[in-house]
Structure 1
Amino acid sequence: MSNSISLKKATVTFDERFTLTDIDWDITSNQHWVITGTNGSGKSALAAVLAGVGDIESGSISGLPKRVGLVSFEAQAELIAKELKKDDADIMDVISLGTPVHEMIFDRCQDPELAQKLVKKFGLSKLLDRAFRKLSTGETRKVMLIRALSSKPDLLILDEPFDGLDVDTLAMLQEHLASIIHTVPMIMVLNRFDEMPDFITHVAYMDKDGSGKNGSNRGKLTLTIDRQDKAAFNELYQLLHLKTTDLNVPEADPANKLPELDPSQPLVKLKQATIKYGDTIIVDKLDWTIEQGQHWQLSGPNGSGKTCVLSLITGDHPQCYTNDIFVFGFQRGNGESIWQIKQFIGYVSTALQWEYRVSTSCKNVIISGFYDSIGMYSKSSDNQKKIADQWLALLGMTDRADQPFNKLSYGDQRLLLIARAMVKHPPLLILDEPCLGLDDMNRQLVLALIEKICEGKKTTVLYVNHHAEDKIKGIENCLELKKE
């Protein structure tokens, strides 16, 4: 590949089933990329675009190479489907034995010497006369790899190349790929970050972009990262860990179990709630019910009363006693203490992060959530330490357990404070502008963690932000306040 490939605001559709939207991406001949991201985000589709697949709806794509070596499950399935068609007795006068492996590999082969060498390396010598369609999945994949590698490609596209290969073949493939990095640029699609070869220079991260017309799915290229940027690379690893890990939200500590709530009662009910200062009305006759397991987004411009409404729920606003408010089984003003209410609430805000300035370890920050303290002033139990370790694992921060909290990035501090708020599994988790002050990567990390919590189904999330359109997967209810 002598020239660079350039995608400028490219929107590409695939049979009305999937659309890549507004893709900006430049690839030069000295770069080797991994495309990664969440399931269904369009990783394979983006790789296929470089092989000329898809219909360009808008934008531009230039510099696509003439000869592309492509290995993917889709291409593998197409080859097998073509072979199976040869079995159709209505069309064929004789029963087809199918295309033999040697024909699949050597027909129109650009580098027979390399192909022969790889056949021997991959242990296919005894299978050359066998019908291609009679091979196992792993053997079929080996044939695909040999075809692509011996095609003298200008660009090599390998979509999950390591799947289905035995240990010995995997090692041989990795060795061969490392030997050709100076002659052909490579694009790999990988779900597992730990499979990334050392020679990869750049990473492209894909994410889902909602649904398009006719219900088709959409994907977007969200980030491109130079592997030399260690900080950005580590953050992307953490994001992928949160997005794709099978780990669940850790359980609460039985020794710190909260009182049971009546499942038939709402967590919060505001009836005609009004907040005013003199003649200025901030919140006017608000009716709002939050049921258990019903995640909400509270949005609105500055001055619309979002923080005031939150403080009515938490009991921090003096006018909470002059309004008709029901929280966690308590009717406000009937003798309950503020701590009886707050034990059921996890709260994260920028203000809390400003206050949390003690020099304690990441692990102790999480453990402090059991005591609702800023810092650690009590001896923690073995089970609390174990739960904190599980949260660190979920966050992809196990190796930072003993690092000082105040030495972490702003985004990592926010993640830990959300974990701190969640350790007791409060019935209600209030996240007040959790993405305020975060760059795009850290914002995505925080949103991924919130999605994970919503999946857990034991805590109701109240997510506060400025923009109603800034949706989080799992949060289906929205209350938008207007500024009077």
Structure 2
Amino acid sequence: MDVFSNLNWIVKKGENWALGGVSGSGKTALAKAIIGDLDVAGSVETNFDLTSSLRPETLYVESWYQFKNVEGVANFYYQQRYTSQQAKETLTVNAELAHFGKEKSLNLSDTKSLINALGFAELSNSQLIELSSGEHKKLQLVKALWLQPQLLIIDQPYTGLDAASRKNLNRLLDNAAEKGTTLILISNDEELPSCVNRYAAIANGKLKILDSAPSSDFAEADLQRELPKFLKQAPVYQSEQIAKMVNVNISYGNKKVLKNINWEVKAGEKWLLQGHNGSGKSTLLSLINGDHPQSYANELYLFGKKRGSGESIWDIKQHIGLISPEFHWYFDSNATVWESVASGLYDSVGLFARLPYSKAKQVDETVEYFGLTDCKNERLANLPLGKQRLVLLARTVIKNPELLILDEPCQGLDKAQTEYFNHLVSELSQHGMTIIYVGHFEAQLPKCLSKKLVLSHGEVIKNENIIKEDKAKDSTVTVQF
């Protein structure tokens, strides 16, 4: 299958581009073609200015960071990120930067202003496996801007970044452009740096030049399908109390990640969890999901039982559907789409048992509802990132769980897909499911959320009801996957 069809594009000095298009349209493939990582029919030429003080090279920053342990292996498992302080299996941020600087002959002291601008200074001694998706993106960006290449291509530059970090990044990108770096930002985001002066999107294998920032105007297929019958049934609750934390504290050595957290989630509630990058959101969720070993040292109740009263991690997970960027990192991408969705029934990272007819039918209905039938036998690794995320989103709801934990679920989805998924979340919420949703931007949230918990530096600074304005009923969402 051809990704491009007679695609022509000229990027001139002084131009800074925003490249958009729906998930799977070929944006990442085009970036890889430019850097020579993808064979194409035709020619790709890059002409550097040899008189410039900037490096005569192209740097491509991938949409997420594929790090390895100290032995050069990347076979991590999800829960490992919460025990790595003892294991010491990955480099620290400082060590990773030092290694990159040595490889590229850079001065480590030049990173200080970049690290401060992105609010990354406190993480210098943290191991790579401990970082959240937003913190990994910051590490990628620090290295890229430190290098000062003549051509810088960034795939999804704002992934996982909070509002303040986005604004600071845009200032840094403006500074880089002012010094002569040519930027190509692969993004459908409309809050771009002011230096961006050219816009394009890929559709049907061709590059279309635009007059303004790419948006969801390229959505084409109506995916308003009826919710499967089994998802219209209320979850079977074991307790009216989903989670309760009493003066919970989490520390790694002298570093306090959570401080005196008091929070209760009741059956059927819809919570928004917010906080800046590194505020402790992922750690808080790891306690509820049963993944954090320090949960036994705290007063924590899950589904009506005190943590440590004899339940296993799998006893907890049977009540929960979870999606997070970190979980996506560690998921088995060799499984097929159908197997990946079905694995949610057993909380596994692959399917190891033959399903009875009733369960297989449930998987088929979910796959169909998410518009994945045409690729159900494809390996997850062969799908574009946005479609991979959609598969894992389907996996989270397959067992109609009591609690749905959605940690930045729409990373990697375009604007129309995000609207569609949030519409689905709101529809699910009408049937009694409890929801904890992590999201930075109010405009990209489902409308069903009614309570909000906000963290800052590991402490609760807000625990309140969400006051909503009267709005018209949801319009039909149109989207292409």
Query: What is the TM-score with the length of structure 1 in the denominator?
Result: 0.47
Query: What is the TM-score with the length of structure 2 in the denominator?
Result: 0.47
Q: Which has the larger radius of gyration?
A: 1
